[in-house]
A and B are shown apart, each in its own frame.
Chain A
Amino acid sequence: MSEAAILALPAPESVANRLSARTAEVEERVREAYAKTLQPRSSAGLALVAVGGFGRCELFPASDVDLLLLVEFENQIPPAREGLSQFLQVLWDGGLRPSHSVHTVADCVTEHEGNAELTISLLDRRLVAGDPAMFQWLDERFRTFAAKRAAAVARQLARLAEARHAKYQNTIYHLEPNIKDTAGGLRDLETVRWLAALQRRGEAPDLESAFNFLAAIRIRLHEIAGRDQNVLSFDAQEALSEQPAALMRDYYRHARQVHRTARRALEAATEQPGNLLGRFHEWRSRLSTPEFTVSRDRVLLRTPKQLPPGLSLFEFAARHDLRLATDTVERLAGFTPQAKWEDWKLLLALPRPSSGLRAMQEAEVLAAALPEWGHIECLVVRDFYHRYTVDEHTLVAIASLESIGDARFAALFEEIDDPALLRFALLLHDIGKGSGHDHIEASLGIARVVLERLGAPEPDRATVEFLVEHHLDLSKAMTSRDLHDRATSRVLAERVGTIERLKMLVMMTYADCSAVNPQAMTPWRVEQLWQVYVLAHQELTRALDAERIHDAAGVLPEQSRFLEGLPTRYLRTHTATQIEAHCELARQLESRAVAIEIAHERSVYRLTLLAHDRPALFASVAGAISSFGLNILKAEAFSNARGIAVDTFVFSDPHRTLDLNPPEVDRLRGIVRRVIEGKQAADKLLRARPKPFVSSRAGRLKPRVAFNNDASEASTLIEIAAEDRPGLLYDLARAISAAGCNIEVVLIDTEAHKALDVFYATADGRKLDSALQDRLKNDLLAACSAS
């Protein structure tokens, strides 16, 4: 296409003339054909009416010519038919594409269920030939009909627009848009004009420059293709402009204005008048708060002069899946929210944040809150696969996590601790596109700046940066690596580091692939990605026990002694500050048997303890914690080469025992110490606790216990998945200890009533033999089902 001359767009001011000139030319030919064929057959009671685009005098070079043959009586239709087919023949032979219908006046002023097109086409009507009295009759009766039925017609228009927008994924940001039917296209513009005409509210909103722009493109598209072709394809973009990207930015700007105006008009037109009381109730919707009013699923500000702090408005919209009212969008013009990291996390941690992000995008607040977003707004990056602009791709990716089709991935997403981090990483993953450099490098650089500015804490930052930096790794592996080669999973596991990060990266890849185009996430791809996940997951589980720290580099000698022999996972899941604190606890062990630290972190508590390893240590501590009615969510137990156990328990406080009684924290510490020192038996503590009520919900998880002797050189891997319940961890750990096994490594996770436990155990320093495995399996299954 490069050597071809650019076919510049017609000047905006010439567009209307071109369209009316084309209309006049076609009209001339239609009249001639009418005079030759239909007129001689019947003089009165027949009229040829131009409707639709022809009626509006806006015929594009290859548009259909919409015609209505108006007859006085039904029984005129059969005799008219022969003349009509001759008439159409003449037009067809002349290279026109007539699109015709035959109706009586009565037909035209009747509502047709499922065929609103007739009514709508009649909004633009003009006599071309035939009996003027007939046309006048139609004109008068249709005026009355339209005035009476304005609200119903508006609702039909709204339904048609909705279906049309849905067909094009409800977005204007297509890389190759259909400029007639996509949201923000010419059809939306006509919808605005029709609504204005129906309501006789005076002039339609001023969309002249948008019309001239879109119409100029459509004229050229028809000329290039020689037919009614309305897709602004990559080839056409190149044919029309030396700078296709600039052309497209102009396109999106106009389309956005049209789309917004159309939505506003449709919203206003479909409002139910209702009675005063009804309106009052609606106004006081149950969702309304002191700051926001919800009316017809739209958010309005209670005190319009005072804009909401942080991202609270968008958080509210996301929480209830609402859109902003037009008035709210207008009030937000020029608004820059003061949003810090905590505000973003609050918004992105909601189950369905995408409606909040959409609201921000729509009100142009997203680029104000996150100036870097401006880089990718309406940005076209052309390749064979992507269907949307970069900003739209990003929002679609985030939304794709709100309706995950594949059950395995849906469950996997539930297991992610902090989905806000994943979503924030998605928000930034392509933000460096269009910089002219490698987009991963550029996105990562921008992510660092943004996270710094927002004041994100170090662990959050590390996770987001990791996800942005590696967001293509898995899809590359899917297509270019032999997944069943152990080296592939080793490399992936090494790069990803922890199971937690693997889950996030897998879901990031899922979202990114899903947002390329509506069909991109094929079953083939889903299967490939799942394979990558399973293999890397296996590798990381294996590495828990198998890969130990040896001669840690870059730390003090004392720290190195402490780290020696801990799993490498420990280094990946702890910050330098935490490691230092643990070393400090290890120092305390010189003067006492156990060192304990309990920290309150937002909604959970974290208990870290260091002690010289002894039989049933882990089980006893789990029991002591459960005996306080606390709910263990996560736990890890490792030990280093010197036999020091490092155990971490994260638990919630469902009865607010510790929250309301601060001295209980000290008592918990004391009890944990006593059970470790053997001065108190954990089972006695637990016996005193009332049995928790366990609901017998249908579809409870069937407990699973699996042993694997191949995962590690020295230990047996025990994987347990079961319905969680208070005290479960204690029962499981005790069963393992009671069978004479030593627990080497533990990784416990619970997600939505599901406990996912990994134990590495040995018996007398060796792997568990099959007899012991069978016995232990029964004990563990019994522990899972006990309540």
Chain B
Amino acid sequence: MKKIEAIIQPHKLEEVKEALKAIGIDGMTVIEVRGHGRQKGHKEIYRGMEYQVDLLPKIKLEMVVPGGRADEVIRTLVAAARTGKIGDGKVFVSDIADAIRIRNDDRGEGAL
């Protein structure tokens, strides 16, 4: 099992969700986050003055998928989230030791 965490542009959320749904991935956690990577915020001009905006609103997606599907999910996610511009975000992948469904004690991939 792999955990996929993706930081994406807020306006790409719907597209990414749709794309993942199309390949059968329904479950995910969506978190509104603020942060910056290499984009390091940007300058904003308001009433002629420049302001530095440090933390940009982003969306973080988290999902755990069976190991065999991880590549497909990542490919789909990246394709849907890409605009080609700076600030498109990143995807992090990690191994998951186990998963438990609280309702009935299902374990492992069966709990996903």
Contacts and interface: CB of A to CB of B under 8 A. Distances in A.
B46 A534 contact: yes
Contacts of A483: 11
A452 interface: no
A477 B48 CA distance: 24
B47 A719 contact: yes
Interface stretch (A105-113, A257-265, A277-285, A702-710): A702-710
A706 B49 contact: yes
Given A479-B11, A479-B13, A482-B83, A524 B49 contact: no
A756 interface: yes
Interface string B46-61: 1111000101110000
B49 A704 contact: yes
Contact of B48 (A478, A522, A528, A706): A706
B74 to A, nearest CB: 22
B55 A527 contact: yes
Contacts of B85: 484
A721 interface: yes
A538 interface: yes
Interface in B52-102: 53, 55-57, 83, 85, 87
Interface in A733-787: 756
Contacts of B53: 527, 531
A704 B45 CA distance: 13
A523 B33 CA distance: 9
Given A479-B11, A537-B46, A706-B47, A524 B34 contact: yes
21 contacts: A478-B10, A479-B11, A481-B11, A482-B83, A484-B85, A484-B87, A524-B32, A524-B33, A524-B57, A525-B32, A527-B34, A531-B44, A531-B57, A534-B45, A534-B46, A706-B49, A707-B48, A718-B48, A719-B47, A720-B48, A721-B47
B34 A708 contact: no
A482 B89 CA distance: 14
A272 interface: no
Contacts of B32: 522, 524-525
A468 B61 CA distance: 33
B44 A719 contact: no
A51 B34 CA distance: 51
Given A478-B10, A479-B11, A480-B11, A523 B34 contact: yes
Nearest to A717: B48
Contacts of A528: 10, 57
Interface string A510-546: 0000000000001111011001001001100000000
Contact of A527 (B11, B46, B57): B57
Given A524-B34, A527-B34, A528-B57, A479 B48 contact: no
B106 interface: no
Interface in B29-49: 32-34, 42, 44-49
Contact of A480 (B14, B42, B44, B45): B14
A705 B48 contact: yes
Contacts of A717: 48
B10 to A, nearest CB: 6
Interface-centre pick from B11, B46, B48, B87 (highest chain A CB count, 10 A): B48
A280 to B, nearest CB: 55
Task: Give the residue among B14, B44, B87 with the most A Cβ atoms within 10 A.
Answer: B44
Contacts of B48: 704-708, 717-721
Contacts of B87: 484
Contacts of B33: 524
B44 to A, nearest CB: 6
B56 to A, nearest CB: 8
Chain A CB count within 10 A is highest, among B14, B42, B56, for: B56
Contacts of A756: 47
Contacts of A479: 10-11, 13-14
B72 to A, nearest CB: 26
Given A480-B14, A531-B53, A538-B46, 18 more contacts: A479-B10, A479-B11, A480-B11, A481-B11, A482-B11, A483-B11, A524-B32, A524-B57, A525-B32, A527-B57, A528-B10, A531-B44, A534-B44, A537-B46, A706-B45, A706-B48, A708-B45, A721-B47
A707 B33 CA distance: 34
A479 B13 CA distance: 8
Contacts of A478: 10
A704 B34 contact: no
Contacts of A531: 44, 53, 57
Contacts of B44: 531, 534
A719 B47 CA distance: 6
A480 B46 CA distance: 23
Contacts of A482: 9, 11, 83
Nearest to A523: B34
A537 B10 CA distance: 21
A618 to B, nearest CB: 19
Contact of A538 (B42, B45, B57, B83): B45
A589 to B, nearest CB: 34
Contacts of A537: 46
Contacts of A524: 32-34, 57
Contacts of B34: 523-524, 527
A705 B48 CA distance: 7
Interface string A711-727: 00000011111000000
A538 B46 CA distance: 7
A527 B41 CA distance: 12
A381 B46 CA distance: 38
Interface in A469-483: 478-483
A717 B48 CA distance: 9
Contacts of B47: 704, 706, 719, 721, 756
Interface in A639-672: none
Interface-centre pick from B33, B57, B83 (highest chain A CB count, 10 A): B57
Interface string A600-644: 000000000000000000000000000000000000000000000
A502 B29 CA distance: 34
Nearest to A534: B46
Instruction: Report, nearest first, the 5 A-B pairs whose CB atoms are least far apart.
Output: A706-B48, A719-B48, A524-B32, A528-B57, A534-B46
